[in-house]
Amino acid sequence: MRTHLHLLLFLTVCCSPLALAAEGKQPVRFDRDIRPILSNHCFHCHGPDEKSREADLRLDTKDGLFAELASGGHSIVPGKPEESDLYDRVSTDDQGLKMPPADGGKPLNAEQIELLKRWIEEGGEWRGHWAYEPIVRPPVPEVKDPEWQKSPIDRFVMRRLEAEGVPPVGKADSITLLRRLSLDLNGLIPDRELVLEFPDLSSEEAYQRLVTKLLDSPRYGERMAIYWLDLVRYADSCGYHSDVDQNVSPYRDYVINSFNRNLPFDEFTREQIAGDLLPNPTVDQKIATCFNRLNKATEEGGAQEGEYLAKAFADRVRTVSGTWLGATFGCAECHDHKFDPISTRDFYSFGAFFADVTENGVYSPRFRHAPDLTLPTPEETARQTELEGELSKLKEALKSAGEKKLAAVEAAKTNDGMPSETGETKDEKSAEVIEAETQEKELKEAVAKVETEIKNLDDQLLRVLITVPREPREIRILPRGDWLNKTGEIVEPSIPASFVKGEKKEGRLNRLDLVDWLVDRQNPLTARVFVNRMWKLFFGSGLSRNLEDLGFQGESPTHPELLDWLSAEFIESGWDVKHLVTLIVSSRTYQLSSIPATGMPERDPQNRLLSHQSRWRLEAEFLRDNALFVSGLLVEKIGGRSVKPYQPEGYWEFLNFPKRDWVASVGENQYRRGLYTHWQRTFLHPSMLAFDAPSREECTANRPTSNTPKAALALLNDPTFVESARVFAVRTLKEGGSNDRDRLHYAWVSALTREPEGSELTALQQLLDAARSEYTQDEEAGKKLVSVGQSPEATEFAIPELAAWTTISRAILNLHEFTTRN
């Protein structure tokens, strides 16, 4: 195993762009080959951070890299490595002169030194960092293969393949394409109706009809929302030590609906960051501003207001910059960024855009995390109106009863205020007074009852945290990020200095100005970041693999012209997300088989050349969704409050302040899509955790993929998967035919979409026979298996038979082919 890992590492390195350049297969490029070396080895001491800069030497700018040194020499002399001080210092054997120094730096290896030398020899051409350069639509290249000339995407990909001498594989078959598209665009495998409707995707017309159908499905918005919710760290709890619930689910539904109605991405951005500042914002636009309130929050009694406002401030800067700019602004909270042109001033002036957001540092556990917006249903609104009308009448009647009581009491007195009758002491009041008091008491009870009902109804109403603007707070630079240090300079909102082009706008900027810059045609990052992440959704990896960081520490794109062409197209289409998705999935590159050609796993182990499609394990939510879908249990209802699937007892044992229990949802809410699962930040649902879903405490652009025993155990034993298997077994027995072979065929095709091979049916038959024997001998174990979950038990089938078919269902739902997007 270790030998294989070493071989894979060797091949990965040897097939990297740097290695190809080092072998002389292509010219050395500064942005692709040289800047990463300088960034990793030199920028810490000779980069943007003025405070840590040594010898007043900058290597991160063109002026700094080619400037005359104090010694009279130059770091780089184009064409002359022997006269270039930088080359001399990294290649010398003199440890007193060698850079980086052995006691604190990372020395360059021989390959990197040789690459630096070649770059200087080839003329030392400087190129700005690819992600910071203006987006200019490049010309679409010409290619030889006529089948690859229809789509600009394909022509960019084929030009690279032709240059490398690598032929692409053929197209995937229709069934594979149908399953791939259905999973990629809807998150669910195709059902039998879709398979029958699209049996052949060889024609472009049929393929485009399928794409349109899947994009028009409400499932599309649910599929796309997951990616966005990871970025904005959407969760149903507020994090920190108590991790109490917060009212945010309507924001999730806003995201789903925005993707479904194809809200242009610039408007999507504007509504979330500054919807409250729009003239007469709609309810949807107000809900969108929940984005600004998705940071973690605390109710801890001893917490300091200023400390947690500073935490929320920094979190918001990291999230906005990470989501829209693919930038690591968080590295500049305590000092200037070590690698990218982002200063500490930039960090705090960027965060100052949000200084007008009404929020607390510490919230009271007795009150909601205001401000929020109430979202009653029409029925609830009608009931509220009815109750308020009833209450108004009762209060009016109570007022009248009080006046009547007072009149009755007064009537029992003489003009001098004495009782009108004398004689023996009497306890009885006059009949009029008693009647008035009785009526008043009854009315007070009725008022209290209605007020209680109004309060109970109000407590049950759906709410969502929103942004309400206030007078902006004073924002200071916090030296070394210390919230107690008030000596830092006061800053106002501004765009990071290195990105400002032209004249600055006068007056104080607000969040609308921030959005205008984010979606400005001249902003080099926003479109590239979004397009790169969209590419990852459909190919498993971005054109630049580091989705979180497009800065100097990121990775150059494998097809930079393609990324720029798509980014320009995205902007010029009006930020049309469905247009971008259609372009990508309609390309021949997308439709390729995922089976690599002979030799390509060794030559290009990460498929950076795109000679074939990729395959990967489904995301946590989609694994759950498809198990429920195949069984027929999935409830396809869009939106609503978050739900609670089965969870191991005691999992919340250490969730305190206050103690609480996880109460599993009942009825249809138990069978909703994984997207709607209650997201507890500090105690993420274990099934989600097993398949690498993030806690959403921070902006997450790329979920990792791990293979651990707990993932296999979750698929086998999580009640959702076991219940899905047993209900799938019932469905197979009822709909699959009258004999084993027909039923095995039915189960296989239902889950995997394709026809089974004879050997696969034979293996399933052997498993079925063994399971029948096992559960015939141990019927109690079979009974336990077929009673998992809330769905009714199928009493029309003998327990050993149903348990055996449940075993078949579990086996199929655990197959690599079922859990993988191919």
Domain boundary among 102, 128, 154: 128
pLDDT of residue 495: 95
Domain contains 329: no
Q: Are 697 and 681 in contact (CB under 8 A)?
A: yes
pLDDT of residue 231: 99
Please, which contacts does 656-659 make with residues 24 or more away whose CB atoms are closer than 8 Å?
656/241, 656/242, 657/241, 657/242, 657/299, 657/300, 658/242
Task: Bin 376: left if φ > 0, else alpha if -120 < ψ < 50, else beta.
Answer: beta
pLDDT of residue 12: 38
Mean pLDDT value across residues 264-292 = 99
Domain contains 503: no
Domain contains 390: yes
Complete DSSP assignment for 336-362: --SSSS--HHHHHHHHGGGTTB---SB
Mean pLDDT value across residues 45-68 = 84
Percentages helix, strand, coil for the chain (3-state, rounded to 5) are 50, 5, 45
- How many CB atoms neighbour CB 150 within 10 A? 13
What is the per-residue pLDDT across 192-247, written as a single tens digit (0 to 9) for each? 999 999 999 999 999 999 999 999 999 999 999 999 999 999 999 999 989 999 99
Most confident of 14-23, 39-48, 245-254: 245-254
Number of domains in the chain: 3
Domain boundary among 461, 478, 513: 461
Q: Which two tokens stand for residue 169?
A: 């594989």
Longest dimension (CA), the chain: 129
163: pLDDT strictly greater than 80: yes
What is the per-residue pLDDT across 504-521, written as a single tens digit (0 to 9) for each? 788 999 999 999 999 999
pLDDT of residue 6: 40
What is d(CA 277, CA 778) in angstroms, rounded to the nearest whole number?
Answer: 67
Q: How far is CA 767 from CA 138, 239, 774, 780, 816, in A?
A: 57, 46, 10, 19, 17
- One-letter amino acid at 69 equals L
Domain contains 723: yes
Strand ranges for 109-186 from DSSP E? none
What is d(CA 519, CA 529) in angstroms, rounded to the nearest whole number?
Answer: 12
Domain boundary among 80, 104, 128: 128
644: pLDDT strictly greater than 80: yes
What is d(CA 11, CA 20) in angstroms, rounded to the nearest whole number?
Answer: 12
Complete DSSP assignment for 686-738: HHHHHTT---SSS--SS------HHHHHHHHHSHHHHHHHHHHHHHHHHHS-S
Split at pLDDT 50, 70, 90, the class of 285 is very high
What is d(CA 391, CA 395) in angstroms, rounded to the nearest whole number?
Answer: 6
Q: Are 603 and 695 in contact (CB under 8 A)?
A: no
pLDDT of residue 59: 85
Q: Cα(first)–Cα(last) distance of the chain, in Å? A: 25
Q: Which two tokens stand for residue 13?
A: 């390195």
User: CB within 8 A of 500, min separation 6: which ones?
Assistant: 494
What is d(CA 460, CA 376) in angstroms, rounded to the nearest whole number?
Answer: 9
pLDDT of residue 414: 55
Q: For residues 307 and 414, which has the higher predicted lDDT (pLDDT)?
A: 307
What is d(CA 511, CA 517) in angstroms, rounded to the nearest whole number?
Answer: 10
Split at pLDDT 50, 70, 90, the class of 624 is very high
**Nearest-CA neighbor of 232 among 692, 697, 705?**
697
Beta bridge partners of 84: 74
Q: Which two tokens stand for residue 639?
A: 């939106």
Mean pLDDT value across residues 145-153 = 93
What is the per-residue pLDDT across 683-703, written as a single tens digit (0 to 9) for each? 999 999 999 999 999 999 999
Q: Is residue 531 classed exposed, middle or buried when 0-12, 13-18 and 19+ CB atoms within 10 A define those classes?
A: buried
Complete DSSP assignment for 607-668: -TT-SS---EEPPHHHHHHHHHHHHT--------S-B-----TTTTTT-TTTT-------GG
646: pLDDT strictly greater than 90: yes
pTM, entire model = 0.89
Domain contains 229: no
- One-letter amino acid at 557 equals P
Domain contains 123: yes
What is d(CA 130, CA 564) in angstroms, rounded to the nearest whole number?
Answer: 10
What is d(CA 673, CA 683) in angstroms, rounded to the nearest whole number?
Answer: 19
- The per-residue b/e assignment along 792-813, b for 16 or more CB within 10 angstroms, e otherwise, is eebeebebbbbbbbbbbbbbbb
Q: Are 325 and 238 in contact (CB under 8 A)?
A: no
Answer whether the bond into residue 648 is a cis peptide, omega within 30°: no
Split at pLDDT 50, 70, 90, the class of 108 is confident
pLDDT of residue 36: 86
550: pLDDT strictly greater than 60: yes
**Nearest-CA neighbor of 126 among 28, 16, 24?**
28
21: pLDDT strictly greater than 80: no
Domain contains 50: yes
Q: Which of 43-57, 448-462, 709-723, 763-777 has the lowest mean pLDDT?
A: 43-57
Q: Are 272 and 287 in contact (CB under 8 A)?
A: no
710 CA to centre of own chain:
23
Mean pLDDT value across residues 361-372 = 89
Q: How far is CA 503 from CA 259, 409, 498, 499, 819, in A?
A: 35, 81, 13, 12, 53
Q: Is residue 643 classed exposed, middle or buried when 0-12, 13-18 and 19+ CB atoms within 10 A define those classes?
A: buried
Q: Which two tokens stand for residue 485?
A: 């240090």
pLDDT of residue 42: 85
CA dihedral 739, 743, 744, 747 (to 10 degrees): 180
2: pLDDT strictly greater than 90: no
Strand-strand pairing, 616-617 and 463-465: unpaired
434: pLDDT strictly greater than 90: no
Give the domain range for residue 48: 17-128
What is d(CA 154, CA 166) in angstroms, rounded to the nearest whole number?
Answer: 14
- One-letter amino acid at 665 equals S
Please, which contacts does 284-290 make with residues 24 or more away whose CB atoms are closer than 8 Å?
284/254, 284/257, 286/373, 286/466, 287/250, 287/251, 287/254, 287/373, 287/375, 287/464, 287/466, 288/251, 288/254, 288/258, 289/466, 289/467, 290/248, 290/250, 290/251, 290/254, 290/464, 290/465, 290/466, 290/467
**Nearest-CA neighbor of 620 among 537, 677, 668?**
677
- How many CB atoms neighbour CB 72 within 10 A? 6
What is d(CA 607, CA 543) in angstroms, rounded to the nearest whole number?
Answer: 11
Mean pLDDT value across residues 417-424 = 54
Q: Which two tokens stand for residue 334?
A: 């305590």
**Nearest-CA neighbor of 527 among 135, 122, 153?**
135
